[in-house]
Amino acid sequence: MLRFLTAGESHGKTLVGTMEGFPSNVPIDMEQINKDLARRQKGYGRGGRMKIETDKMEILAGLRNGKTLGSPIAFLIKNKDYENWEKFMDPKQAETEEKRVTKPRPGHADLTGALKYGFDDVRNVLERSSARETAVRVGIGSLAKQLMTLFDIEVYSHVIAIGNAALGKNPNENSDEKLGKIIDEKLDAKLDGKIDEKSDEEKEDLEVLKKAEESEVRCIDQDAENAMIEEIKKAKENGESLGGVFEIHIKGVPHGLGSYVQWDRKLDGKLAHHLMSIQGIKGVEIGDGFETAGMEGSKVHDEIYYDEEQKFYRKTNHAGGIEGGMSNGETIVIRCAMKPIPTLYKPLKTVDLITKEEALASVERSDTCAVPAASIVGEMVAITVIAQEFLRKFGGDSIEEIRKRWKDYQ
């Protein structure tokens, strides 16, 4: 069982992660992890904090000579901003008055957190409820991703809507179905090592995929990207904030991860649980999700075919790769809806925690929109769940043992 915990305050000395159940003898590429951490920090619409931090993972335990030991992995990611906050955040003796927050922000954990834990200073809540914590989940996910890559399981994400600007609203761009196909084909080419033999047309398509990585809002379509950036600019000027939707594709997942035999073993349930735990995520859809509610059954369910080469296969993937709580061998497709950032530079009304008088909510340095960053967090959280379920099915103490079980199954 692959388990993990995170710790750390947003302006505390360091963030900490620990993971147990990771097999031995897995080579770990630290550069790749730091790249994933940097991917989370990017995105048009981020606030000043991400300019201060350059997240790097420092491994404390569980690794020797670049390979995992099978023992718990422990790591830290330093908060550079601690230099400016040491006086206020020191664990032993801190100056608490100057940075005290008593005007809870609607949409945050502030009010209920303070009431629940008995604080007269909301800072004691917001330091931990902050999405700075997601840096650790990216660290955990990046480790899981490296394990899954050894079994040709790849994760990818892109943004499909920010505020009112969305891929689907642009008449010139690819339909989602076509987009999904392009992504699948490109990942196929990558997995088959065919990337160097690509035709001009393939090169063009590859550019499309690369675009999400290079796009400031992780959008594959230029016109939609421009519209999204405009939306964010407008929101910023108005002291507003925005949410949006991102989509995750997980390719190469074998059939049979998760199970129908018990409610808490269902893969869709687990993915939804973990993804909904990301700060600001308010909806998770698998496959066609909410849209299926208004459709006829024959348009929703993916008919089953068989041939010698492909064995059992589908021509469509409305189910998003999961049926009966199990992966069915098709690409897993998940969409997540993120609400607008709750810290507003034009603050909302609140009530002072101490005086009980009407007030304006406090303002902590904040993003205007963090959907592109959240899509990276989503990728990493989703691949962590896949790794957990993969190890549950094929698990062993070492990578060699797992490989044997995986090959037998295939």
Which residues of the shown chain bind ligand FMN in the complex (CB under 6 A)?
A: 47, 107-109, 129-131, 134, 278-280, 339, 341-343, 366-367, 370, 373-374, 377
255: nearest Cα among 293, 217, 307, 312: 312
What one-character-per-residue DSSP string does 15-50 give? EEEEEE-PPEEEE--HHHHHHHHHHHH--TT--THH
Q: Which is nearer to ligand FMN, 339 or 403 (CB)?
A: 339
CB of 372 to ligand FMN, least distance (A): 9
CB of 306 to ligand FMN, least distance (A): 42
Q: How far apart are CA 3 and CA 22, in angstroms?
A: 9
Q: Which is nearer to ligand FMN, 72 or 106 (CB)?
A: 106
Q: How many C-beta atoms surround the C-beta of residue 115 within 10 A?
A: 12
CB of 242 to ligand FMN, least distance (A): 11
Kindly state the tokens that stand for 363. Answer: 């303002």
Q: How far apart are CA 52 and CA 31, in angstroms?
A: 20
Q: Which is nearer to ligand FMN, 140 or 278 (CB)?
A: 278
DSSP-based three-state secondary structure for 83:
helix
Q: Hunting for tokens 């993971």 — which residue is that?
A: 19
CB of 278 to ligand FMN, least distance (A): 5
Q: Which is nearer to ligand FMN, 133 or 225 (CB)?
A: 133
Q: Which is nearer to ligand FMN, 60 or 363 (CB)?
A: 363
Q: Which is nearer to ligand FMN, 373 or 391 (CB)?
A: 373
For 176-239, what is the HEC assignment?
HHHHHHHHHHHHHHHHCCCHHHCCHHHHHHHHHHHHHHHCCCCCCCHHHHHHHHHHHHHHHHCC
* Radius of gyration from C-alpha coordinates of the chain: 22
CB of 130 to ligand FMN, least distance (A): 6
CB of 395 to ligand FMN, least distance (A): 30
